[in-house]
Structure 1
Amino acid sequence: MGAPPHHPDTDLDDRVEALDRALAADPEPAVLVATSLGCLTVARWAAARTGPVAAALLTVPRTCRSPWPACRFARSWSAAATTST
């Protein structure tokens, strides 16, 4: 498998900025629910910023085998959770 094609709407920096703008538009704490690339977006946002977020639920199929960064990220978390229990 080669690298996934680039799609403008999947640029991680653009997605993080869009999330930041959406959260800034409402002062009420948000509950973020994300899957696939959304998980990587939320994680990247949370690593660099703070904001009105009450909770985040990140989910991706355990069998995700894609070369996309979101799947690699999810597999690394899944492996960490498996070894820590």
Structure 2
Amino acid sequence: MTAAVGQVRRARSDDAVTVLHAAFPFNGEDFALFLRDVPGAMFFLGVANPEADLNGTPHARDFGADERALGIGVRAMAGFLFSRLTT
């Protein structure tokens, strides 16, 4: 996980990353069932933007995403995957 966190921080900034362990919003996800059999991790890309009245909470009735966050997530995950393939 440390390598993935580093890539996200490089894509955005150190203070923009918070590492959570089984905390909201992950505690209701079915993804944990897959992790019983296959090692992995779930990443939560924060897409909320209160100034634009966008609630980024998954599964919320009023969910809205600031789509500018998608580029950050793509850069972070692409960098992480590339680092894993080249080691």
TM range (shorter): under 0.3
More strand by share: 1
Tell me the TM-score normalized by structure 1: 0.27
Tell me the TM-score normalized by structure 2: 0.26
